Amino acid sequence: ETGVTQSPTHLIKTRGQQVTLRCSSQSGHNTVSWYQQALGQGPQFIFQYYREEENGRGNFPPRFSGLQFPNYSSELNVNALELDDSALYLCASSPEPTLAVRQFFGPGTRLTVL
Amino acid sequence: SQQGEEDPQALSIQEGENATMNCSYKTSINNLQWYRQNSGRGLVHLILIRSNEREKHSGRLRVTLDTSKKSSSLLITASRAADTASYFCATDGRTSGSRLTFGEGTQLTVNP
């Protein structure tokens, strides 16, 4: 088990709604990355936050947005939910933004959009 | 598009046998990592191998990296039922910035 926690565990929303997912990074880590994992697929990079600033973004539309707080916890917000947004959302923390170190993943939030 | 592609997509073996999974990627990398995922849960880091390394061991795991062929393999020796999971390789390319790029994974089933 890593020290990364995510909430909620499961969430059901309807199309057009908005959702906020939360991630608490491991103690001492200042970098959080978010990934979307559709069923049967590998995780896809959404974005990374380092010291409260966005530090890279994948091919996701602007309705996917994020925040990082001074304690380095993070939120992922998704507006105008679509059916294809149904997925497992994973956050990963690390002590620095380099990928030369292991990423510590949380247990994920399972989002279902009806 | 996925950088890494795992092969095979699914593998079923008996306890005690060895399991080998392969990963191919398309662009130059800095590092390659292997992760395990149990049934829709979070990813567990297994091993990181740098582009200038050729082989790495961790317990029952052995990872090789061939940058000339843009491929890596993960060998699990003396497998156990608890090794049943999906295994993913992830690369950070020299032009990919802050992202890890994952393959689609190999589903390993170890039968008792």
Q: How deeply is B81 buried, as exposed, middle or buried, from its count of CB atoms within 10 A (0-12, 13-18, 19+)? A: exposed
Q: Which two tokens stand for residue B67?
A: 């940058």
Q: For B11-68, how does the pLDDT look when each residue is reduced to its tens digit (9 = 90+)?
A: 999 999 999 999 999 888 889 999 999 987 889 999 999 999 999 999 999 999 999 9
A49, A99, A102, A105: best to mutate for the B interface, most B CBs within 10 A:
A99
> At B6, is the pLDDT very low, low, confident or very high (cuts 50, 70, 90)?
confident
Could you tell me which chain B residue has the CA closest to the CA of A48? B98
Of the candidates A50, A58, A88, which has its C-beta nearest B40's C-beta?
A: A88
Tell me the per-residue pLDDT of A43-91, one tens digit each, with 9 for 90 and over.
999 999 999 999 999 999 999 999 999 999 999 999 999 999 999 999 9
Q: What is the pLDDT of residue B2?
A: 45
In which residue are the tokens 């279902």 written? Answer: A112
Tens of pLDDT, residues A1-31: 678 999 999 999 999 999 999 999 998 899 9
Q: Measure the CA–CA gap between A100 and A104, rounded to whole angstroms.
A: 13
Q: Which residue has the higher pLDDT, A96 or B44?
A: B44
Task: Please report the pLDDT score of residue B96 as a whole number.
Answer: 62
Three-class secondary structure of residue A85 per DSSP: helix
